[in-house]
Amino acid sequence: MSKTVVGITSGIDTSDGYFLGYRKSYVSEFYVKSIIKANGIPVILPIVEDEESARELIDRVDVLLISGGADVNPLMYQQEPLLKVGGIDPSRDLAEKMYFEYAKKVKKPIFGICRGLQFINVVEGGTLYQDLSYCKESSLRHMQLPEPALETHTVKLSSDCFLRDLYHKDKILTNTFHHQIVDQVAKGYKVTGLASDGAVEVLEYEGDQFIKSVQFHPEMMAANGSEEMIKLFKHVIKVGKENVK
């Protein structure tokens, strides 16, 4: 039986040596390693400009994984850019919007990580705090120092959280690498995991389709041997396999 194919959305890098300024599609190798460890096939989805290409690519994968990266353009959620917003890439926003909307239409499982959670919330009508400093309740360090697999804070899971069903416990320890968080939650979505300062850490679609996302970086932990996070990727891949007609 063929393995589940996971399409990972990519970012743009322009910093490489002799080709400084050239746009190159990339994803962190953590995503690739995590999917392979979970017995899936990783495929990098490039930043495309037309809906036909986006549809063709989604038709060829079993799961859409919206990866981490640059900030979502505040104009997407009807806000002007504030002083502490980070770098944006409207071309990525457009490509991921096409990927997401078509994957949702054809009921492909969708899993978001970090920016992926924020993007799903925005594209479905929610908003973000453009920086943690704009949220009065924010009190934790959500941008940990370099050690990628280190568990640095607790995520409390609600009784209906898919991770609670997966792990059979009401809280987990995670890493954290982000400077933005969800503000207004998109209609049709529910928050099922929170950091101790109230930052949204798990967001789930309330409909009958698998659209789930996490604010932390399970791929960094899974790639470095975390059995708990490998189990998460195995779950996503299992959902993708079951969804294939």
Q: Which of 124, 201, 204, 219 is catalytic?
A: 219
The residue length of the chain stands at 245
Residues 6 or more apart whose CB falls under 8 angstroms from that of 243 comprise 62, 63, 107, 108, 109, 210
Residue 39 CA to residue 41 CA, distance in Å, equals 7
- 217 labelled catalytic: yes
Q: Which long-range contacts (CB under 8 A, 24 or more apart) does 234-239 make?
A: 234/38, 234/39, 235/162, 235/166, 236/6, 236/38, 236/63, 236/65, 236/109, 236/111, 237/4, 237/6, 237/35, 237/38, 237/39, 237/40, 237/63, 238/4, 239/63, 239/109, 239/210
Residues 6 or more apart whose CB falls under 8 angstroms from that of 62 comprise 4, 5, 6, 108, 109, 240, 241, 243, 244
Q: Which of 96, 114, 124, 204 is catalytic?
A: 114
- 114 labelled catalytic: yes
- 135 labelled catalytic: no
Q: Which of 142, 153, 178, 217 is catalytic?
A: 217
CA dihedral sign of residues 84, 88, 93, 94: positive
Which residues are the active-site residues? 114, 217, 219
